[in-house]
Amino acid sequence: MRYHAKVSRDGRHWNAIFLDAPGCATFATSRGKALLAAKEALEGWLEAHLVDGRSPPKPAAASRGEPVDIDPQLAVAVSLRWARQDAGLTQADLASRIGVSQQQIAKLERPGANPSISTLKKIAVALGVRFEFDLVA
């Protein structure tokens, strides 16, 4: 999962803002440090949405700026929440479809979740979506 940061210089500092993540911004003393801080800020912003039970906005397909990749575990939790909500299902509905408790689905949609590939495949089938996994160099 990737969002894009708009990085710009402002006097002695470099600012990084995410147009697809309202309110998520940071700054640092160099461009490189700003991008590192941007990743940390974005991941914290996404985690806060998940913990609060909210669904963060999806990144625009044609965003401009510096790409910022999200930790894969966090990306899975966010993607699961988006897919479930796009299907119009509650956590209880999805849980019923795959034979687990609502609490287990809630756990999968929180930061730090580590579902197995088997579980992800079951969820994809229940949601009517395709499950893809890529290792990209």
What is the per-residue pLDDT across 93-107, written as a single tens digit (0 to 9) for each?
999 999 999 999 999
Quick count: other Cβ atoms within 10 Å of Cβ 38? 29
Q: What per-residue confidence (pLDDT) applies to 135? A: 85
Q: Clarify whether residues 9 and 45 are in a common domain.
A: yes
Nearest CA to 98 among 129, 125, 130? 125
Statement to judge: residues 78 and 57 lie in one domain: no
* Three-class secondary structure of residue 61 per DSSP: coil
Q: Which residue has the tokens 């495949």?
A: 121
Per-residue pLDDT at 134 exceeds 90: no
Structural domain includes residue 133: no
Q: pTM for the whole thing? A: 0.90
| Structural domain for 93, as ranges | 72-127
List helix spans (H) across 2-101.
Answer: 31-51, 72-86, 91-98
* C-alpha–C-alpha distance, residues 6 and 15, integer Å: 8
Examine the domain organization and report whether 32 and 77 are in the same domain: no
Residue 110 lies in a domain: yes
CATH number for the domain harbouring residue 95: 1.10.260.40
